[in-house]
Amino acid sequence: MIDANTKGRMQLLITRIVVYAILIFLTVLCLFSFYMLIINSTRSNGQLQAGFRILPQEHFLDNLKNAWNDASINIPRGMLNSLIVAGSSAILTTYFSALTAYGIHVYNFKGKKFAFTFIMAVMMIPSQVSAVGFIQLCLKLKLTNSFLPLIVPSIAAPVVFFYMKQYLESVLPMEMVEAARVDGSNEFRTFNQIVLPIMKPAIAVQMIFSFVSSWNNYFIPALLLDKAEMKTVPIMIAQLRSADYSKFDMGKVYMFILLAILPVMIVYIILSKAIIKGVTAGSVKG
Amino acid sequence: MKETRTLTKRKGISYAKWGYIFIIPFFVVYICCSLVPQLMTFYYSFFENYRDGLKQVGPNFVGFKNYVTLFSPDNTGNIGILKYFGNTVILWVLGAVPQLVIALLLAVFFTSTRLNIRGQGFFKAVIYMPNLIMAAAFSMLFFTLFSTVGPVNQLLQSSGLADKTIDFFGRTFTVRGMIALMNFLMWFGNTTILLMAGIMGIDQALFESARLDGASAWKVFAKITVPLLMPIMVYVVITAMIGGLQMFDVPQVLTNGNGAPNRTSMTMVMYLNNFLTTSKNYGMAGAVSMVLFIVSGVLGLVVYRTLSKQYKQ
């Protein structure tokens, strides 16, 4: 009996060691490239050519200055452009998805079921498959090199809608809506002043996700923006890749990459718990 | 009494219109920005419409010619779209299989009360992080790290693991491997978290009684965890497939859009992008888009059915 017990404990110990080893390996695998990015952004071009280093060197500020003031890749402008596009998209997508979800959740009207089924059915259609028509439409309306075609479509985001709908189902008591009606609040005010505050957690999570996906978005913006002062960050990063590589100051290149991912990294470091919690909501439950 | 009746009456008459008002913005934008462009894409796929040098050809109606061209062998004897679809599938499988295996393993580890893993918050935060990183920047980073003068080569040589510079971008195997590795890193954390939620949704009493019956950890996994996890597994796999079909940023930036070497890492969306940027061939781009639309539509149907089944319960 004692023998079996010790054997079981040994087994558990070994399993634990193996599991932690796997976890540490995956952690290293995940962090290695980003660690190298940070280290290499502190080294000058000459130092980078000289060989591998595991510890930072002293050229971080030089690289930052060079990257920030680069003549061909205007990264501060790119970051501002990305901020405008991603910020506006995040606000519009959450507000209108919540509004749509509320409209379908609370009211009974003809075609409600169809509207819901329709949104669910188109949820999985990727945006790339309508890109040809979308680009043509923008060309016809003279909307290339404008942020509007990157911002406005975010009003209709089926995935965000689905998340909001599920959230409303779990938190919104209908009595509250009724009470507001009795108090004479009009429906629009009820939504803005009573329902939106209740939905704050869902809105916050979805704002982060839509900000991030818009900040990282490359395919459609690259097809629509070709004026230097309108370019967003991912387009500039891709431009780095297509530029004559050998002429580049590598310290600067690493700094560009670091600047491109830094805003999202900072948000993530502060809010990772809430973000991870938000991943599971809005998908299938077991 | 009278008061209540007027209230219900008012409710019956006037509230429905608010439903329409609230959902109108969504539908107007969806129709303008997705539905109409989708129909236009379909329409354009029947036209000859491209730039030949400085000359614009078309748009002329050509019927199914673009589709025929799409599925005909080019001058090298390859059928482009099949090759690129094949590439997309290979790249997806190389990344997705380890992604699913590792994610399932980690989900089981993290939820096991017997193992009682410490520092879960930290590990989850780390493995999910690459998912939020800009794919274009991540890919550019890999390009610099694995370049012939990059740190990986420097490390391999200084440690004596390689005696000469390895050209990671000159071989099909290594380029595909890097793309798969990036996709794996970007998605396994996300999948782990989804599967964990699935496992935690399973009735704990089932695990408890299985353990009391003396079932081994493996048996519990195979007979309880996996079967009960099926709906969420289907969801995860199919959404990953739809995501894989859209694979673009990573291979595009890594290979500078040419799918080097010899177009072996050119994906479907890169192919589409080439028609839209270099040749401005909107007819062929439309035809490629419709093929993508059909494939993702079929996959989307599966997701839709899983989700709506859950909705009825």
pLDDT in tens, B234-285: 888 988 998 999 999 999 999 998 888 888 999 999 999 999 998 888 999 9
ipTM: 0.91
Which residues, 6+ apart, have CB-to-CB distance to B298 below 8 Å? none
- To the nearest whole Å, the CA of B33 is away from the closest chain A CA by 6
Smallest Cα–Cα separation from A231: which of A241, A242, A222, A240?
A: A222
Looking at the fold, whether A56 and A98 belong to one and the same domain comes out as: no
- The position carrying tokens 């493996």 is B218
Nearest to B123 among A27, A99, A284 (CB): A27
Average pLDDT for chain B? 87
Contact of A94 with A163, CB cutoff 8 Å: no
Looking at the fold, whether A136 and A204 belong to one and the same domain comes out as: yes
Looking at the fold, whether A40 and A104 belong to one and the same domain comes out as: no
d(CA B29, CA B39): 15
The DSSP secondary-structure symbol of B213 reads: T
The confidence score (pLDDT) of residue B14 equals 66
- A128: tokens are 């790339």
Choose one of A65, A81, A102: the last residue of a domain: A65
Contact of A216 with A78, CB cutoff 8 Å: no
Looking at the fold, whether A10 and A87 belong to one and the same domain comes out as: no
Residue A246: pLDDT over 80: no
Kindly state the helix (H) or strand (E) to which residue B216 belongs, with its residue range. none
- To the nearest whole Å, the CA of A2 is away from the closest chain B CA by 18
Residue B12: pLDDT over 60: no
The DSSP secondary-structure symbol of B74 reads: -
Residue type, B308: S
The pTM for the full model equals: 0.90
Looking at the fold, whether A250 and A175 belong to one and the same domain comes out as: yes
- For the four alpha carbons of B158, B160, B165 and B170, in that order, the dihedral sign comes to negative
Looking at the fold, whether A14 and A103 belong to one and the same domain comes out as: no
Whether residues A123 and B304 touch (CB distance < 8 A) is answered with yes
Looking at the fold, whether A243 and A130 belong to one and the same domain comes out as: yes
- To the nearest whole Å, the CA of A43 is away from the closest chain B CA by 12
Which residues, 6+ apart, have CB-to-CB distance to A85 below 8 Å? A147, A150, A151, A214, A221, A232
Whether residues A130 and B135 touch (CB distance < 8 A) is answered with no
Please report, for residues A10, A211, B133, B142, B295, the alpha-carbon distance to residue A263 in angstroms, rounded to integers and kept in the order given: 46, 11, 10, 20, 35
The confidence score (pLDDT) of residue B279 equals 83
Residues 108-137 of B with CB under 8 A from A: 109, 114-115, 117, 121, 123-130, 132-137
Q: How many domains does chain A have?
A: 2
- A154: tokens are 């975010």
Residue-wise pLDDT for B41-94, tens only, equals 999 999 988 888 778 887 888 888 889 988 988 877 788 899 999 999 999 999
| Residue A285 is assigned to a structural domain of this protein | no
Which residues, 6+ apart, have CB-to-CB distance to A231 below 8 Å? A74, A77, A78, A81, A225, A239
Choose one of A65, A88, A112: the last residue of a domain: A65
Beta-bridge partner residues of B56:
B51
Residues of A in contact with B125 (CB under 8 A): 268, 272-273, 276
Looking at the fold, whether A60 and A90 belong to one and the same domain comes out as: no
| Residue A235 is assigned to a structural domain of this protein | yes
Looking at the fold, whether A160 and A230 belong to one and the same domain comes out as: yes
- Taking only Cα atoms into account, the Rg of chain A, rounded to an integer number of angstroms, comes to 25
Contact of B260 with B239, CB cutoff 8 Å: no
Choose one of A65, A94, A116: the last residue of a domain: A65
d(CA A234, CA A217): 7
| Residue A151 is assigned to a structural domain of this protein | yes
Contact of B304 with A124, CB cutoff 8 Å: yes
Kindly state the helix (H) or strand (E) to which residue A22 belongs, with its residue range. helix A2-40
d(CA A264, CA B224): 38
Three-state DSSP at A13 gives helix
d(CA B30, CA A157): 8
CA atoms within 13 A on the CB side of B132: 24
Residues of B in contact with A233 (CB under 8 A): 134, 137
Residue A190: pLDDT over 70: yes
Residue B5: pLDDT over 50: no
CA atoms within 13 A on the CB side of B154: 16
Smallest Cα–Cα separation from A18: which of B194, B220, B106, B199?
A: B106
pLDDT band, very low/low/confident/very high, at B6 (cuts 50, 70, 90): very low
Looking at the fold, whether A167 and A39 belong to one and the same domain comes out as: no
Residues of B in contact with A187 (CB under 8 A): 15, 18
Looking at the fold, whether A179 and A264 belong to one and the same domain comes out as: yes
d(CA B20, CA A112): 9
Q: How many CB atoms lie within 10 A of CB A64?
A: 17
A160: containing domain: 72-280
Q: How many CB atoms lie within 10 A of CB A107?
A: 19
Looking at the fold, whether A54 and A164 belong to one and the same domain comes out as: no
CATH for A90: 1.10.3720.10
The confidence score (pLDDT) of residue B215 equals 84
Which stretches of chain B are assigned E, i.e. beta strand? 47-52, 55-61
| Residue A286 is assigned to a structural domain of this protein | no
- A43: tokens are 């080294």
Residue A249: pLDDT over 90: no
Smallest Cα–Cα separation from B68: which of B81, B52, B51?
A: B81
